[in-house]
Structure 1
Amino acid sequence: MPEVSEVVIRLGGFTIEIQQSIFVWLCICVLAMFFFYFAGKKIEKADPSKPTQGLVYVCEEMYNLILYVVQGNLKETTTHYIPMFGTLILLMVVANLTGLIGLQNPTSNVSFNATLALTLWLMIQGNAIKKAGLKARLKELTEPMWLLTPLNIIGELALPISLTMRLFGNILAGSIITLLVYTLIKNIAPWGYLGLTLTPFLHMYFDIFSGVIQTYIFFTLGSFFLGQQVSKQED
């Protein structure tokens, strides 16, 4: 497991330093761009009368997975928001698995998580204002009595902070624990080589299970609060 480091890019007389987690995220986005482009071409050429297979089948299963995460919260507005949520969910799952190949996980960077959380929060607030107007939205913060306004404001601001720190804390903790185990194995060699049998299970939990679960929690909460503003409330 690598330590936090920077990627240095030299272009002529210029030197650009990018934190490894951000560079990894940029690479994931570029790869995803090509993947979605070729997947879209495959889907356009697919015969709907025949069973799906290959890349088209993979995309179909990914779509069903995304629906499982957000449809219960977004309800009838799911189709409208699924491009954004679908893209971010798939990219974050891939990002959470980068630790398996020795790269720094983008979600272990608090600024990265804060950007995602703030984006969702602004979307929620924007839709709340669009739904009832700015005056009505401000009035909601004074209910059920004006004395509770400070608490209501704190509650609204707590969402992006909570999303950020929950994801950051869990992912970073997993990275630190794995790093400590590798350091211990290295320091007690040659007996430490016996401990290498444990490392696949560490990665299985912290990089796969925990990473997927944290992605699920992040976007389930985000879609829930967004759904409160955009979906029709049941009687």
Structure 2
Amino acid sequence: MNGPKIMFHIGGIGISETITTTWLIMLVLITFAYVGTRKLEKVPGKLQNFVELLVDAFYGMVEQTMGKHNLGYTPYIGTLFLLFMLANLVGLLGLRAPTADLNTTLAMALVTFVLVQAQGLRTKGVGGYFKGYLEPLPALLPLNLIGELANPVSLSFRLFGNIAGGMVITSLLYGFLAWVSTGLVGLPIPIFQVGIPAVLSIYFDLFTGVLQAFIFTMLTMVFVAMAE
């Protein structure tokens, strides 16, 4: 599987498929947020009902996982889930998923890492925060530090590995079916590429895409809540 291609340049800086697709997803989310909240009514229509249902679901998820006192994280958590869900699902449209680029998943995992440290400092204070690395024994300081630094690594590689792995498997399947069609059977066109890969695309792009977005979001909430 090749890496993301450079689509165009801005001031001599190459803009890759990852960045371009991410910008498109951001535009979709911003437009959805604007249209969905532009004209709120006491008697909501279908779009407003959907938006309110979505917002209530995110607030309920944050309250259940992180507690009522952490409801302020809901806008970020909701945005994170929607961003990753769309980033994982764009493969259905023939675009390269931004989450198949380790730069994307690592960057968002580092944001989670910063949130975790900030939450620990805010709730425990500076003394309590650093004391936590010495528990239960001061000799475990190196292990505690390694464990803390391992979180963003595992977060980023889990999402990246699942999405990139799906792309690799699908690409190999397309190549194999093309060989079967033209090389083995001798057909003039790779007809076996039609239909068969769609089943795998539904699994890897749809089911796995939504699931991995939920897992990343849920782990972010758990890590932040555990930092208190």
Q: CA RMSD in A?
A: 2.0
Question: What secondary structure is seen at the aligned counterpart in 1 of 2:77?
Answer: helix
Identify the residue that residue 122 of structure 1 maps to in structure 2: 114
Q: In structure 2, what is the Cα distance between the partners aligned to 1:157 and 1:2?
A: 29
Q: Is 2:141 the counterpart of 1:149?
A: yes
Which of 17, 22, 30 pairs up with 1:20? 17
- What's the CA shift for 1:229? 3.4
- What's the CA shift for 1:171? 0.7
Which of 103, 107, 111 pairs up with 2:103? 111
Which of 149, 153, 165 pairs up with 1:161? 153
8 Å contact from structure 2 (residues 62, 71) kept in 1: no
4+ runs of 1 displaced by more than 4 Å?
A: none
Q: In structure 2, what is the Cα distance between the partners aligned to 1:227 and 1:95?
A: 26
Q: In structure 1, what is the Cα distance between the partners aligned to 2:93 and 2:3?
A: 13
Q: Which stretch of the first structure deviates more once superposed, 185-194 or 106-115? A: 185-194
Question: What secondary structure is seen at the aligned counterpart in 1 of 2:136?
Answer: coil
TM-score relative to the length of structure 2: 0.89
**Residue type of the alignment partner of 1:119:** V
Q: Which stretch of the first structure deviates more once superposed, 32-41 or 194-203? A: 194-203
TM-score relative to the length of structure 1: 0.87
Identify the residue that residue 70 of structure 1 maps to in structure 2: 62
Q: In structure 1, what is the Cα distance between the partners aligned to 2:191 and 2:60?
A: 41
Identify the residue that residue 31 of structure 1 maps to in structure 2: 28
Q: How does 1:181-200 map to 2 (within 5 A)?
A: 181-190=173-182, 192-200=190-198
Q: How does 1:75-86 map to 2 (within 5 A)?
A: 75-86=67-78
Change (3 A) 1:182 1:29: same
Q: In structure 2, what is the Cα distance between the partners aligned to 1:78 and 1:182?
A: 46
8 Å contact from structure 2 (residues 5, 17) kept in 1: yes
**Residue type of the alignment partner of 1:216:** F
Listed one character per residue, the Cα deviations across residues 168-205 of structure 1 (whole Å, up to 9, x for unaligned) are 11110001101111111222225552352222211110
Question: What secondary structure is seen at the aligned counterpart in 1 of 2:4?
Answer: coil
**Residue type of the alignment partner of 2:94:** G
- What's the CA shift for 1:134? 1.4
Q: In structure 2, what is the Cα distance between the partners aligned to 1:169 and 1:218?
A: 13
Q: In structure 2, what is the Cα distance between the partners aligned to 1:101 and 1:95?
A: 11
For CA contacts below 8 A with separation 6 or more, give which structure has more relative contact order.
1
Listed one character per residue, the Cα deviations across residues 76-106 of structure 1 (whole Å, up to 9, x for unaligned) are 0343111111111111111111101111100
Which of 191, 200, 203 pairs up with 2:201? 203
Q: Is 2:218 the counterpart of 1:226?
A: no
Q: Is 2:28 the counterpart of 1:8?
A: no
Identify the residue that residue 233 of structure 1 maps to in structure 2: none
**Residue type of the alignment partner of 1:189:** S
Question: What secondary structure is seen at the aligned counterpart in 2 of 1:141?
Answer: helix
Question: What secondary structure is seen at the aligned counterpart in 2 of 1:103?
Answer: coil
Q: Is 2:178 the counterpart of 1:178?
A: no
Unaligned runs of 5+ in 2: none
Q: In structure 2, what is the Cα distance between the partners aligned to 1:65 and 1:21?
A: 29
Aligned identity (percent) is 31
Unaligned runs of 5+ in 1: 231-235
